[in-house]
Amino acid sequence: MSTQFAPIWNNASVDFSCIKANVTDTLSGSNSTLLDLQVGGVSRFSVKKNGQLVVPQVSNLSSTTAGDASITNGDYTLFGIRFGGNNKLQIGQWNNRCMGMGLSGTTFYFVMPSDGLLSFSNNNTIGGTQGTGDTVLARDAAGILAQRNDANAQTFRIYNTTDSGIANYERGKLEWSSNVFRIGTEKAGTGSARALELQTDGTTRLTIGTTGDITAAALTLSGDLTISTKNIVTDTTTGTKIGTATTQKLGFYNATPVVQPTAVADATDAASVITQLNALLSRMRDLGLIAT
């Protein structure tokens, strides 16, 4: 037995209903249904009394046979879900703006189009386009992940410790601030100040301590080193060398750097004192220790 309907709607000012049921629910189980379509006593499609739509199984949506469920505007897919080969699930506009996820062997993957954006909104309301998001991850080019949002400066943080309210923390940061790029550490609340290290090949080459002290494994400068109102402090045990070979050039007070001056022989009499003193003064002038 089958039931068929062929109603005729012929009045544009009337909102018709083909099938309508109005249930007065004074007492019923939570799984009561307004509609339950079955085959062989097995429910295939049902609508619970709270409006929940239940579809136990949708054939043709599988990893071996392409199928889809979509929302369209009559011309193209606005949003849809499609199962295809290779255990792939696509969400979006088919062959246009579509992201996919699935399994490759035992590896789960998630893929977005090349110009796709992962955008976080500044509130709990989702709507509009990228303009509602203030933190955006994007693909600049192959192998290049970018955090960008038009002309708005961005900051990336990595936490060492924190609490749920982010009031007590220790963290590192990469940020743009007033057109200056900064790399550093921060703390707040019960967090402690932490040092900053730069490494190559897993070895620390430069350490900036919590109070600003700098320790370098080796330091080679190709530009000027400016020291303002500070002293050079050396240890009292081994000491510090300025120059480690006689062929290394030094100059003081803007003099042209020279290698180590040759020795001046000891004076042996009154006449040689003048000669050797003049030789010593000449070498000091070459170094820039005294004016010429």
Residue 99 has φ and ψ, to the nearest 5°, of -105, 155
Sequence letter at residue 184: G
- pLDDT single digits (tens) 152-192: 999 999 999 999 999 999 999 999 999 999 999 999 999 99
Is 72's pLDDT higher than 70? Answer: no
CB 148 within 8 A of CB 136: yes
Dihedral in degrees, nearest 10, Cα atoms 99, 105, 106, 109: -20
Joined together, the tokens standing for residue 192 give 């402690």
Dihedral in degrees, nearest 10, Cα atoms 262, 267, 270, 271: -40
Average pLDDT over residues 124-140: 71
Cβ atoms < 10 Å from Cβ of 90: 20
> Is residue 279 classed exposed, middle or buried when 0-12, 13-18 and 19+ CB atoms within 10 A define those classes?
middle
Residue 133 has φ and ψ, to the nearest 5°, of -100, 140
pTM attached to this predicted model: 0.61
Residue 258 DSSP one-character state: B
